[in-house]
Amino acid sequence: LLDMLDEPMPMPVAAAPIPRPAPASPQPAPRPQAPQASAESIEFANPFAGSADRFAADQAAAAAAADASKPWVSDGPVRTPNVSTPKPKPCLDPMASGDPDVGLEGVGLAASAVSNALRPFLPKVGSCLPSGSRGMFEVTASFQVGCDGRVTGLTIEDTGGLPQRVVDCIQGALWKAPFPSHDRQGGEVVELPLRFTGDALDF
């Protein structure tokens, strides 16, 4: 027993922990570089690029188109129509209508009779509008027509925006309009809208 006590007793030695390397923290993956956009791709990506310039150009084009469609009288000379004053026609008898309600007052001018009488004449008045003019102009004329079919009074109620030199030409020609005769001895008032288009006239 003493011999055993003289020998050192082996002591258990605890194993020292072996340090483990700390796990590496994950590094973020590199972000892919965006490709450089060309001028064409920038314009495609931004639909409003240059929109102010395009809007201004569109407005200018629309204004030019509107001006081109407006009625316009050229600076050319007016051409006096080749018309002559009609001969007087016999006045009609107001009693010939057979309508007792008409009496001495007469029935006056029928619209169809006026249209038939003036249709060959009015296109000639269109020459008052200078060549090269465009658009439509509506002139309203009021006629005082004697029972013999001749104009005894004339007023241009609406010039339709035509210059005075053209209106004077039209008025001078309309004094020679060949209305049909009628049965109103004191005359008949007829108001006509006359539409000029280019160098043509209709009503």
Query: pLDDT, tens digit, for every residue of 149-203?
Result: 999 999 999 999 999 999 999 999 999 999 999 999 999 999 999 998 765 555 5
Of the candidates 79, 199, 65, 64, the one whose C-alpha atom is nearest the C-alpha of residue 132 is: 199
| Nearest-angstrom CA–CA distance, 14 and 75 | 121
Burial of 172 (0-12, 13-18, 19+ CB in 10 A): middle
136: domain CATH number?
3.30.1150
| Nearest-angstrom CA–CA distance, 116 and 177 | 12
pTM equals: 0.63
Of the candidates 104, 128, 109, 126, the one whose C-alpha atom is nearest the C-alpha of residue 196 is: 126
Range of the domain at 119: 109-202
Task: State residue 172's pLDDT score.
Answer: 97
The tally of domains found in the chain comes to 1
The reply to whether 140 falls in a domain is yes
| Nearest-angstrom CA–CA distance, 197 and 148 | 31
Task: State residue 32's pLDDT score.
Answer: 62
The reply to whether 186 falls in a domain is yes
The reply to whether 9 falls in a domain is no
| Nearest-angstrom CA–CA distance, 174 and 154 | 8
Q: Residue 69 contacts by C-beta under 8 Å, 6 or more apart in sequence?
A: 135
Average pLDDT over residues 48-65: 67
The reply to whether 188 falls in a domain is yes
The reply to whether 47 falls in a domain is no
pLDDT band at residue 1 under the 50/70/90 scheme: very low
The reply to whether 35 falls in a domain is no
The reply to whether 1 falls in a domain is no
Average pLDDT over residues 76-102: 84
Contact 71, 134 (CB under 8 A): yes
The reply to whether 75 falls in a domain is no
| Nearest-angstrom CA–CA distance, 7 and 149 | 166
Residue 137 has pLDDT above 80, yes or no: yes
Task: State residue 4's pLDDT score.
Answer: 47
Residue 102 has pLDDT above 70, yes or no: no
